[in-house]
Chains A and B, each alone.
Chain A
Amino acid sequence: MSSKEELLQRLSDGVVDMEEDDVAEAAQEYLDAGYPAFDGIMEGLVDGMNRASQLYEEEEYFVTDVLLCSDAMYAGLDILRPHLPEVSNDDKITGIIGVVEGDTHDIGKNLVKIMLETAGFNMIDLGRDVPLTQFVERAKEHNADFVCMSTLMTTTMGGMETVIHLLEEAGLRDKVKVMIGGGPISQKYADKIGADGYSQNAVEAVKLAKRLLNIA
């Protein structure tokens, strides 16, 4: 039988190597051996995903690779998560994420969501082509700490500014940080519309979220 360390390594390597089936198998063996699910997630799956994002940052891995790594991670999570001690999502920092109305390009958004979830944030995914008022409604409903918006198109980026105004009108602007990203977006645009931050890619988005929310 494999030791805990060996199984954690297998979980982590499986994520990095995009081996969805092996990760699921290793996660089951890990549980059967009686090891705690929490460690399996943090030291196995999340460790692997962090290694994958490191490779992404170094341009060894690209978006398609990271998507497959995250599939492997989620395959493991599906098995380990039900065995976690109950923790309510209320304790977690919650973010709303979506692609603004008029645009359906959501690869970048999905990647940012995966990275933020890996980093421990509770992410509410509104999907793509999201009506602008929905960002505000859902932020209110979930008592969100931050809102992430993306678009790949110049024609739809104006929607981000509208959401910021809507947050102001709803009296929520002081309570939520606003992060934006996507092809035509820049720090300059973020400054112009009064967003709290811009990040160029998913790894940067995690750093940005932590900085904005004062998380070490």
Chain B
Amino acid sequence: MLTPKERLRMILDGQNADRPACICPGGMMNMVTSELMDKVKVHMPEAHNDARQMADLAKAVYEEGCFENYGVPFCMTVEAEEMGAKVDMGSHVYEPHVVEYVIDSVSDYKRLTPVDITRGRAKVVLDAIRILKEETEGVPIVGNLTGPISTASSVMEPVVFYKELRKKNQEAHEYMEFITEQLIAFGRAQIEAGADIIAISDPSGTGEILGPKYFKEFAVTYINNLLDSLQDEKMGSIVHICGQMSPVYKEVNEVHSSALSFDSIVPMKEAREHLKDRVLMGNVSTYALEFGDPDRVKMLTRGCVKNGSDIISPACGLGMKSPLANVQSILACLKEDA
């Protein structure tokens, strides 16, 4: 019997495992629900600021039979906050989100505070990873990073940012280099702390928003810079990109991650056809997970497997009100069919 970690390692290495893995990374891909929090009596928003609580909540996700991994943090605001953005920590149902930007233009990036991994919530995340590393084994620990484009558009107004990719092209590249350096520092520290996998979600860097040219020039370039600068000793990496892939399959295939993950708008069958040699992750509808029933979730899970997904996961972050029974049926189904 493979441990979840052995299974995921085999899949990421392109080998045949006994069955698909069942993962929900964390970060943007939220895997915590209200029912789970009530059950283990650890709650958000407190868990965003406390390494012990963060680790305990991450553990609960595995222990309650939801997913075969641990993952932290549970939001995508850590990097932006460390660089000076003001963050509303949300509530037990809303995720933290940025409420005040730091700069007005890509050319002002020198005014940003570099991410200091020894303090603030960056440290909370790293401490949580250390706790998980020390207290658990056999289950992969996923460290999450907000993607370069999404981070860049979290410390300044996204509309201005998108326009300046074209209007101030050279400065936009300098800005993106700075942002990517911060993510590299945080990502490397996560691996040092014990993360097995780095998952990067870049929902603001979609092909639909940027178009193929800018998707390649900015999203792919800096995601790859980030991936290439992480230590080799990690088990692997996952990149999640939102939105339709049809305009950018060619470009997305150039992303250097071990696995690619898409949201539910991308038919797994279509992704498999376009990305024959890639390890694919996804994409059980979060709508079905919140409003459907276990049978429907199992049907969708089998659909993902049949259509070529190697790692079964929710297509996006889980809605907080998703019933635990629904969430648990993805893994239950994979075990039944194995």
A152 beta carbon closer than 8 Å to chain B: yes
The yes or no answer to A156 lying at the interface (CB within 8 A) is: yes
Q: Is A189 an interface residue (CB 8 A)?
A: yes
Contacts of A156 in B (CB 8 A): 94
A142 CB contacts on chain B under 8 angstroms? none
What B residues does A183 contact at CB under 8 A?
Answer: 203, 242-243, 263, 265, 316
Inter-chain CA distance A61–B291, complex, in Å, is 35
B319 touches A157 (CB 8 A): yes
- A203 on the interface (CB 8 Å rule)? no
B90 touches A102 (CB 8 A): yes
Q: Does B266 interact with chain A (Cβ within 8 Å)?
A: no
B2 is an interface residue with CB less than 8 A from chain A: no
> Cβ of A154 and Cβ of B316 under 8 Å apart?
yes
Q: In the bound complex, do residue A107 and residue B158 qualify as a contact, i.e. CB atoms below 8 Å apart?
A: yes
Q: Which of B99, B163, B203 contacts A152 (CB 8 A)?
A: B203
Asked if B17 is at the interface of the complex by the 8 Å CB criterion, the answer is no
Bound form: Cα–Cα A65–B167 in Å: 11
A154's partner among B158, B159, B165, B317 (CB-CB below 8 A) is B317
B243 in contact with A107 (CB, 8 Å): no
Interfacial residues of chain A within 122-155, with CB under 8 A of chain B in the complex? 129, 152-155
Nearest CB in chain B: distance from A61 CB, A: 7
Residues in B with CB closer than 8 Å to A103 are: 97
| Total B residues in contact with A, Cβ cutoff 8 Å | 39
Is A101 within 8 A of B165, CB to CB? no
Which residue of chain B has the shortest Cβ distance to A189 in the bound complex?
B287
Instruction: Name the distance in Å between B18's Cβ and chain A's nearest Cβ.
Output: 31
A184 to B28, CA, bound (A): 13
Number of chain A residues close to chain B: CB under 8 A: 32
Partner of A184, one of B162, B166, B209, B316: B316
Contact with A along B284-307 (1 / 0, CB 8 A): 001100110000000000000000
A188 close to chain B: CB less than 8 A: yes
Complex alpha-carbon distance, A150 and B162, angstroms: 20
Could you say which residues of chain A place their CB within 8 Å of the CB of B98?
A: 104
How distant is B138 from chain A, measured CB to nearest CB, in Å?
A: 30
Is there a chain B Cβ closer than 8 Å to A50's Cβ?
Answer: no
Across-interface contacts of B287 in A (CB, < 8 A): 154, 184, 186, 188-189
- Chain A residue at minimal CB-CB distance from B165: A64
Q: Would A64 and B93 be within 8 Å (CB), given that A153-B317, A154-B319 are in contact?
A: no
B94: which A residues are within 8 A, CB to CB? 101-102, 155-156
Is B242 in contact with A64, judged by CB distance below 8 angstroms?
no
**Any B CB within 8 A of the CB of A38:** no
A119 within 8 Å of B by Cβ?
no
Residue of A nearest to B95 (CB): A155
* Interface contact A68-B263, CB-CB below 8 Å: no
A107 — which chain B residues lie within 8 A by C-beta? 158-159, 162, 204, 209
A120 at interface by CB-CB < 8 Å: no
Which residues of B (187-227) have their CB < 8 Å from a CB of A? 203-204, 207-211, 214
27 contacts between A and B (CB under 8 A): A18-B166, A62-B209, A62-B214, A62-B247, A63-B208, A64-B166, A64-B211, A67-B159, A102-B90, A102-B97, A104-B97, A104-B99, A105-B203, A106-B158, A107-B158, A107-B159, A129-B88, A153-B95, A154-B286, A154-B287, A154-B318, A154-B319, A155-B94, A183-B242, A183-B316, A184-B286, A188-B287
Given contacts A62-B211, A105-B203, A183-B265, 17 further A-B contacts (CB under 8 A): A67-B159, A71-B163, A101-B94, A105-B158, A107-B204, A129-B99, A154-B30, A154-B319, A155-B93, A155-B94, A155-B317, A156-B94, A158-B93, A183-B242, A183-B243, A184-B287, A184-B316
Please give me the 7 A-B residue pairs with the lowest Cβ-Cβ distance, nearest first.
A62-B211, A102-B94, A63-B209, A154-B319, A64-B162, A154-B286, A104-B97
